[in-house]
Amino acid sequence: MIELHQIAAALYLAAGIGSLLGLLLPDPRISRGGAWGLGLAALVHAAAFATLHQLDPAPPLTDLAIVLSMSAWMAVLFVLALMWRLQIFGLAAAIGPVAFLAVFVAALQLQATGAPANPISGTWPHAHVLLAAAGFALLGTAGLAGAFFLLEHRRLKAKLRPMQRAALPSLEALDRVNEVAITVGFTLLSLGVMTGMAWQHSELGTLWSGGSHETWMVVAWSIYGGLVAVRFAGHQGARQSAASALAGFLFLMFAMIGVGLWT
Amino acid sequence: MRILLVGMNHESAPVEVRERFAVDDPAALLAKLIAYEEIDEAVVISTCNRVELCVTTHQPESAHHTLMRCFAGHEDSTYLHSGRAAAAHVLRVASSIDSMIVGEPQILGQMKDAYRSAVEHDACGPVLSRLFQRAFSTAKRVKNETGIARRPVSVARVAVDLARQIFERFEDKKALLVGAGEMIELALDALRRAGLEQVRIANRTVANADELAARFGATSHGLDELDALLAEVDVVLTSIAGEGPLIDAARVKRVLARRRRPLFFIDIGVPRNVDPEVDRLDNAYLYDVDDLEQVSQRNAEERRREAQRAEGIVAEEEQRFDGWLVALEAVPTIRHLRSSAEQVRVAELERTLARLGVEVSDGDREALEQMTKSIVNKLLHSPVAKLRAETDREEGIAMLEAARTLFGLDDPPPGEPER
């Protein structure tokens, strides 16, 4: 329940700090400890989701806090898989604090949430939220990989001493992560947009209502579509792709969260 | 018993002296050493940077002279370590703190070979076995708990380390080496060790490239093929004589326009072979010899800092080994104490039975034997346990001396005249 969300948030933060210490000291054993901490946090986080329905009232899946929390969880799972595959544990230093923020905000929101005025149920809303959250998570991971790429690129150009092995991925690995995450993430986001339209149609009888959330999300989707096209047409170098992934995700965050807060 | 170590290394003797004493046949030297009465155990360590003879002895002075004779004519270039200092030195050498390049990994393998050879030739007994096992575990601790070997210091390995920041794996990568000199050969060796298999060598004199390529299983090319080669490779290493840059930015820009993969240039030529402007291009990374030297120096500084931490681990492990040695030295004293007590017990029992003047049944005698043994064991339990448990050398030696004095273990047996 909410306590489990709070525990998961604390574990994410501890894993992130542990991993960061591992990078700074530098001690690969501490970095590995951070990665294990991240895994434990993801388990607790999963348990928190599993027990959400026991809350009275149970928060709807479409709640922004739940979406954020779910996106963070999916991103953590994806990064854990990458860390396992590439044996690079330093990634926990980046994803840990991000997941902490998302889950911490979600826990605060859950405490303040009252009974929803119009409880939402049905296949389309659930499919929309799950697909969009997964797409958001993967595109977030692509943005994170992009940020790391730019950081590492800058280090190499500035002739700074290389980072420890097993601290950060190589540029090649980051570019590959970027490519996979953006391909799968864009596909999921597209499906999220489509199921959102289907939900709209089932509720209001129209595919397009012209609301600010829909408009900005479609703009974000179009931008990502452009990025994917440019990337796979071979017109972009790795550094430009990294910068695009980061900028694209910042825009997506604005479209998904910022617009909602602003309007 | 004392451990002695006599040897010479890169700091005490120049290479022309060290090579004179390099041991080609350790078996013969080991056999010769343990044939001396004053030497109990021996291990011979011989590498390009050191020749060391490590022995245990009960006659330190005589053993020292024997060992020094092995370095006849160059005694001034040797060093002697004795007792705890010798043990600490072995641990330091195995941990690569005493190496010319601090943290280099080869010395541990060489010491394991030296130890194996001594064991195979029955030259290694319990003390040196224990010492070398302790040295190997110390080296493992130093490697795991400090960063002494974490960063490379040779220019070739620094270049490989940098390449790892760009490429995830080398197996599917291709390298172009421009030049055919010694530096190129060293770099080629480092790249091969890192897993890079596909190598092209380009040189002005193709015959020289042919020769190097044949030795390393690479392909050889002339400099006129440079554009085509640049388009297909991932790592470019240059060290070729000539005036002005051989690879200019415009050429690299043309190559990069046709590819997405990054291109990593390592320019170890002086004067430089790659135009510094290449580093401004987005997908190209250029390190020249000064950049590599800078990284190498910072890594060497870090190794020296880590060596300080390693010294702490060596001190801890040496203390443990010394504790074991003290306990080992307590064994004869304990044995002596027990046998003296047993002699007293038997004598006193016999005297008491004789004084009683009565026939004692076997059962009663057995009971009396058990009772006296039990008294002796209970009286000796505490001092023996304390002698065994003491691991600090100074206190251990003091305790052994006290035990010998208090129990009269150094006195001549009763009835035996003093000499």
| Band of residue B243 on the pLDDT scale cut at 50, 70, 90 | confident
A239–B298 CB contact, under 8 Å = no
Q: Tell me: ipTM over 0.85.
A: no
pTM of the model: 0.67
- The average pLDDT across B252-279 equals 89
Q: Is any Cβ of chain A less than 8 angstroms from the Cβ of B333?
A: no
A161–B283 CB contact, under 8 Å = no
Q: Is any Cβ of chain A less than 8 angstroms from the Cβ of B150?
A: yes
In Å, how far is B196's CA from the nearest CA of chain A? 15
pLDDT value of position A56: 64
Residues sharing a CB contact under 8 Å with residue A142, sequence separation 6 or more, in sequence order:
A177, A178, A181, A182, A185, A245, A248, A249
Is residue A31 within 8 A of residue A19, CB to CB? The reply is yes
B282–A237 CB contact, under 8 Å = yes
| Burial label, A46 (beta-carbon count in 10 A; 0-12, 13-18, 19+) | middle
Q: Which residue of A has its CA nearest to B164?
A: A170
B288-302 pLDDT, tens digit per residue, is 888 888 888 888 888
List all residues of chain B from 218 to 237 with a beta carbon under 8 Å from chain A.
none
B279–A165 CB contact, under 8 Å = no
Q: Is any Cβ of chain A less than 8 angstroms from the Cβ of B259?
A: no
B282–A240 CB contact, under 8 Å = yes
B168–A163 CB contact, under 8 Å = no
- Residues of A with a Cβ under 8 Å from any B Cβ are 26, 86, 152, 155-157, 159, 161-165, 169-173, 176, 234, 236-240
Q: State how beta strands B198-203 and B174-178 pair.
A: parallel
pLDDT value of position A1: 61
Is 70 exceeded by the pLDDT of residue B393?
no
Would you list the DSSP string of A100-149?
A: HHHHHHHHHHHHH----SS---SHHHHHHHHHHHHHHHHHHHHHHHHHHH
Q: Is any Cβ of chain A less than 8 angstroms from the Cβ of B295?
A: yes
Q: Which residue of A has its CA nearest to B296?
A: A161
B220-233 pLDDT, tens digit per residue, is 999 999 999 999 99
Is 80 exceeded by the pLDDT of residue B414?
no
Residue numbers of B annotated as active site:
48
Q: Is any Cβ of chain A less than 8 angstroms from the Cβ of B260?
A: yes
Q: Which of A159, A163, A180, A230 to mutate to test the interface with B (most CBs of B within 10 A)?
A: A159
Give the residue from B221, B224, B262, B213 showing the smallest Cα distance to B246.
B224
| Band of residue B416 on the pLDDT scale cut at 50, 70, 90 | very low
Q: Which residue of B has its CA nearest to A85?
A: B168
* Mean of per-residue pLDDT scores for chain B: 88
**Nearest neighbour of A238 by CB, restricted to B147, B161, B262:** B262
Is 90 exceeded by the pLDDT of residue B81?
yes
**Nearest neighbour of A171 by CB, restricted to B165, B279, B295:** B165
Give the residue from B390, B317, B396, B5 showing the smallest Cα distance to B133.
B317
In Å, how far is A167's CA from the nearest CA of chain B? 10
| d(C-alpha B224, C-alpha B178), whole Å | 12
Residues sharing a CB contact under 8 Å with residue B110, sequence separation 6 or more, in sequence order:
B45, B47
Reading chain A (263 residues) residue by residue, the pLDDT tens digits are: 678 888 999 999 999 998 888 877 767 788 888 889 999 999 999 998 888 766 666 666 667 777 888 889 999 998 898 888 777 777 788 889 989 988 888 888 777 665 455 556 678 888 888 898 889 889 998 998 899 899 889 989 988 766 655 457 789 888 988 988 999 999 999 999 899 889 888 888 888 888 888 888 889 999 999 988 888 887 788 899 999 999 999 998 888 877 777 66
pLDDT value of position A61: 67
- The average pLDDT across B137-163 equals 85
List all residues of chain B from 343 to 372 with a beta carbon under 8 Å from chain A.
none
In single-letter form, the type of residue at position B208 comes to N
Give the count of Cβ contacts less than 8 A between chain A and B: 58
Is residue B159 within 8 A of residue B190, CB to CB? The reply is yes
Least confident of A49-53, B104-108, B188-192: A49-53
A239–B291 CB contact, under 8 Å = no
| Band of residue B150 on the pLDDT scale cut at 50, 70, 90 | confident
- CA angle A196-A197-A202, nearest 5°? 100
B155-165 pLDDT, tens digit per residue, is 778 888 888 88
| Pair of tokens at residue A242 | 């990294």
Give the residue from A63, A51, A57, A54 showing the smallest Cα distance to A106.
A63
Q: How would you list the strands of the sheet with B2-9, edge to edge?
A: B39-46, B50-57, B2-9, B79-82
In Å, how far is A171's CA from the nearest CA of chain B? 5
pLDDT value of position B419: 37
Q: Is any Cβ of chain A less than 8 angstroms from the Cβ of B287?
A: yes
B165–A163 CB contact, under 8 Å = yes
- The average pLDDT across B93-110 equals 88
Q: Which residue of B has its CA nearest to A87?
A: B168
Least confident of A158-162, A182-186, B29-33, B408-412: B408-412
| d(C-alpha A61, C-alpha A54), whole Å | 14
Q: Is any Cβ of chain A less than 8 angstroms from the Cβ of B378?
A: no
Q: Is any Cβ of chain A less than 8 angstroms from the Cβ of B174?
A: no
| Pair of tokens at residue B75 | 């005694």
B150–A169 CB contact, under 8 Å = no
| Band of residue B191 on the pLDDT scale cut at 50, 70, 90 | confident
> Where is pLDDT greater, at B276 or B154?
B276
B262–A161 CB contact, under 8 Å = no
A234–B287 CB contact, under 8 Å = no
| d(C-alpha B287, C-alpha B162), whole Å | 9
B168–A156 CB contact, under 8 Å = no
Question: What percentage of residues in chain B have a pLDDT greater than 70?
Answer: 96
Give the residue from B306, B181, B167, B296 showing the smallest Cα distance to B237.
B181
| d(C-alpha A125, C-alpha A192), whole Å | 10
